[in-house]
Amino acid sequence: MARTGKGRLVPLAAVAAAVALLPLATGCGADSPHSYSTSETRISAEVGETFTLTVDENPSTGEEWYVAAPKPDGSVVRGVSDRYDADDDSKDLIGGGGTHTFTFKATGVGHAKIVLLDCPVHTCTGQPNSPTPAPPSPSAYRPATPERITYTVTVR
């Protein structure tokens, strides 16, 4: 039990809970992970740090991003999660786009590569576990070409 300024007794659990919530109420909680765009392909992180890779995506048109082979060295960096968020102004629009966020954690000192592959409709095979660009079509129709972005991660 702890005493308040007015001499009342308050359970210590209540005091601990209030202290734990204080950083959230004041905006001084844990830092958000640093987010990298497609133009920031060199990443520097500390062991234990979490970071995100954010790309524009429009799954309604068949466009999807994947972590592609070769997969990153898990002793240096590992994937934590990925999610798609529709843009606020396009949530109610058919064909509206959004962003895809891949979250990674730096697990050990070293260097690793993370390859993201953008697969417009009919341009990749083997997805979602191991997408690769599809072989060229012999027909006159040529679908869009997959886009590949390679991030170089250095963990200190």
| Per-residue pLDDT tens digits for 12-68 | 554 444 444 444 443 444 578 999 999 999 999 999 999 999 999 988 888 889 999
Residue 121 confidence (pLDDT) above 60: yes
Alpha-carbon distance values, 24 to 35, 44, 103, 127 (Å): 21, 27, 22, 39
- Name the token pair of 120: 């417009």
Rounded distance between C-alpha atoms, residue 81 and residue 102, angstroms: 6
Pick the more confident residue, 119 or 3. Answer: 119
A 10 A CB-CB count for 93 gives 11
What mean pLDDT is reported for the chain? 79
Q: Residue 135: in which H helix or E strand, if any?
A: none
- Name the token pair of 148: 């590949």
CA 96 vs. chain centroid, Å, equals 20
* Contact between 68 and 118 (Cβ < 8 Å): no
What is residue 20's predicted lDDT score, i.e. its pLDDT? 44
Residue 140 confidence (pLDDT) above 70: no
Residue 3 confidence (pLDDT) above 90: no
Proportion of the chain above pLDDT 90, given as a percent = 49
* Contact between 58 and 100 (Cβ < 8 Å): no
What is residue 19's predicted lDDT score, i.e. its pLDDT? 40
Where do the domains of the chain lie, and which CATH numbers do they carry? 1-30 (no CATH), 34-155 (2.60.40.2020)
